Amino acid sequence: MRRRALIIPRARRSAREPVVPMINVVFLLLIFFLMTAQIVPPAPFDLTLPNASGDEDTGQNALYISASGEIAYDTVRGEAALAQAVAATADRSLRVYADATLPAATLAQVLAQLTALGATGVEIVTEGG
């Protein structure tokens, strides 16, 4: 007569670490960084900003001036962009992204127009240096 074993041997587990918890942590971090990131709309022109040091910019509520003097704010272009930019930033500074090759006289004219429209504060955005 054959005897049965009282203890049945278990199948051996592999010595690998489980990957699922690590994947969960990676996805949670990815979601966290996507939710806390500030998404900035792209500039309507290719700009080369002048160099300077100072605070970082968020790119929101910005007036863009190209090297040829084109003006854009949000989806509006031209003189109407100036009025809309001043109206949208009545209680805070308006950020101006001007191309580094834009003549200073043209920038001065735009700043004068902004003042005439009622802008109380203007910040000219530059590249960090």
Dump pLDDT digits (tens) for 44-58.
888 787 776 655 545
Q: What is the mean pLDDT of residues 118-122?
A: 86
3-state secondary structure the chain: CCCCCCCCCCCCCCCCCCCHHHHHHHHHHHHHHHHHCCCCCCCCCCCCCCEECCCCCCCCCEEEECCCCCEEECCEECHHHHHHHHHHCCCCCEEEEECCCCCHHHHHHHHHHHHHHCCCCEEECCEEC
Q: What is the pTM of this model?
A: 0.56
61 vs 60: which has the higher pLDDT: 61
* 22-26, 111-115, 123-127: segment of lowest average pLDDT: 123-127
Write down the domain spans for the chain: 51-128
Q: What pLDDT was estimated at residue 27?
A: 94
User: What is the CATH number that goes with domain 51-128?
Assistant: 3.30.420
% the chain with pLDDT above 90: 12
22-46 tens-digit pLDDT: 999 999 999 998 888 877 777 788 8
